């Protein structure tokens, strides 16, 4: 027999709001004004939004069995090699995802190596120009300006490899951010839930700046010297744009809003992606479309899988804009990962 209402109400009035919510087992409160069945979050097989980071949308779990994907919900792994710091912790990564993670790492490395190769190619062009008749017939002042520009390349190139290693530590950490089930705590999201920026810890900025700051300034000085020489501007090769490394403030802004936002970069057939850019010294040396254009293509398996109804309906994070509560340290995560950098001895592992 049910108790009379007048005997239940006094008991309810003494309960805290939290206790009142607990008395509702059919629902789980996610945010103000939104409720979903409690089973969706913990007990069924539809997955959870913890593994639906918008930054890795092309690797969301779809239920397909013929493609590498993130897990449908956080789970403990023990055999991760690339993002090995997530072993024995609940994460969205799995051993199948390590192939696209390594591919993403190599894609970033190829882009950076390609930019440095552009510097070397320009240096080679200047070295050849020095032995031409155009140089020999130039006046002494122009020859001196040209020689000074030529001499700026070696100091910059000597710093390049160390900077690339630091940037690749950052890249590795951002790739492993795909494992993080609490990703929403580290990002700014728009009103429709898209990630707008990542809250990168300043320690990562300082770590990258230790070597990339000097490299960026050396490259900026190189540009200035080249621009002063009419002869040095003759090569048709573009110079890579490393202006985002010119000072710490610009570098940190670039790391947070550009570099961090493209962790799974996949350049296709082009040598100068938008992520790093290139600069031409004169208007007459305008780039061809294939010089500066970058295409980001999804694997055909992803296109095919997402073109059909998925067996796993994609749950979404709670709606509305959100702000980060935590700071991400990608370089610390990258240095703990299993990606290979060939770091200099003595490079510190950030804690």
pLDDT digits (tens, 9 = 90+) for 148-195: 999 999 999 999 999 999 999 999 999 999 999 999 999 999 888 888
Q: For residue 47, is pLDDT > 90?
A: no
pLDDT number for residue 9:
43
- Tens of pLDDT, residues 274-288: 444 554 444 343 333
The 10 Å Cβ neighbour count of residue 305 is 20
- Residue range 58-70, pLDDT digits in tens: 899 988 777 789 9
Are residues 240 and 278 in contact, defined by beta-carbon separation less than 8 angstroms?
Answer: yes
List CB contacts of 316: < 8 A, sequence separation 6 or more: 49, 52, 193
pLDDT tens, position by position, 323-336: 899 999 999 999 99
Higher pLDDT, 292 or 208: 208
Beta strands in the chain (DSSP E): 27-31, 34-37, 75-76, 90-91, 187-189, 195-198, 239-240, 278-279
CA–CA gap between residue 233 and residue 225 (Å, rounded) = 10
Give the Cα separation of 298 and 158 in Å (integer). Answer: 36
Run of H or E including 216: helix 202-227
- Beta-carbon contacts of 54 under 8 Å, excluding residues fewer than 6 positions away, are 193, 194, 195
Sign of the CA dihedral with 156 first, then 160, 161, and 166 last: positive
Q: What separation, in Å, do the N-terminal and C-terminal C-alpha atoms of the chain show?
A: 62
CB 68 within 8 A of CB 97: yes
- Reported as type and span, the H/E element at residue 126 is helix 98-129
Position 165 scores a pLDDT of: 94
92-96, 175-179, 313-317, 325-329: which range is least confident on average?
A: 313-317
pTM summary value: 0.73
pLDDT in tens, 98-113: 999 999 999 999 999 9
Whether 188 and 199 have beta carbons less than 8 Å apart is answered as: yes
Q: How confident is the model at residue 46 (pLDDT cuts 50, 70, 90)?
A: very low
The confidence score (pLDDT) of residue 303 equals: 42
| pLDDT score recorded for residue 342 | 66
């Amino acid at each position: 027999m049910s108790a009379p209402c007048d005997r239940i109400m006094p008991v309810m009035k003494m309960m805290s709001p939290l206790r009142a919510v607990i008395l509702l087992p059919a629902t789980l409160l996610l945010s103000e004004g939104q409720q979903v069945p409690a089973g969706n979050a913990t007990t069924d097989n539809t997955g959870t939004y913890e593994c639906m980071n918008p930054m890795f949308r092309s690797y969301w779990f779809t239920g397909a069995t013929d493609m590498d994907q993130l897990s449908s919900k956080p789970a403990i792994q023990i055999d991760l090699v690339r993002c090995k710091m997530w072993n024995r912790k609940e994460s969205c990564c799995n051993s199948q995802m390590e192939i696209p993670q390594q591919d993403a790492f190599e894609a970033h490395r190829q882009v950076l190596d390609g930019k440095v190769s552009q510097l070397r190619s320009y240096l080679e062009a200047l070295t050849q120009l020095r032995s031409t008749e155009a140089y020999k017939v130039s006046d002494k002042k122009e020859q001196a300006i040209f020689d000074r520009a030529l001499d700026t390349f070696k100091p910059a190139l000597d710093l390049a490899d160390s900077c690339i290693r630091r940037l690749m530590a950052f890249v590795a950490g951002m790739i492993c951010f795909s494992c993080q089930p609490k990703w929403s705590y580290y990002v700014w999201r728009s009103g429709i839930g898209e990630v707008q920026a990542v809250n990168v810890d300043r320690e990562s900025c300082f770590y990258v700046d230790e070597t990339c700051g000097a490299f960026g300034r050396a490259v900026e000085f190189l540009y200035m010297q080249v621009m002063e020489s009419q002869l040095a501007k003759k090569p048709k090769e573009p110079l890579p744009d490393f202006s985002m490394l010119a000072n710490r403030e610009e570098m940190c802004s670039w790391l947070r809003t550009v570099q961090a936002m493209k962790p799974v970069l996949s350049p296709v057939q082009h040598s100068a992606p938008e992520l790093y850019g290139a600069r031409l010294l004169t208007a007459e040396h305008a780039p061809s479309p294939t010089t500066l254009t970058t295409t980001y293509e999804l694997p055909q398996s992803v296109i095919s899988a997402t073109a059909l109804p998925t067996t796993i309906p994609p749950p979404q994070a709670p709606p509305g804009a959100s702000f980060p509560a935590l700071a991400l340290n990608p370089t610390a995560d990258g240095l703990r990962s299993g990606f290979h950098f060939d770091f200099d001895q003595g490079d510190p592992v950030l804690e």
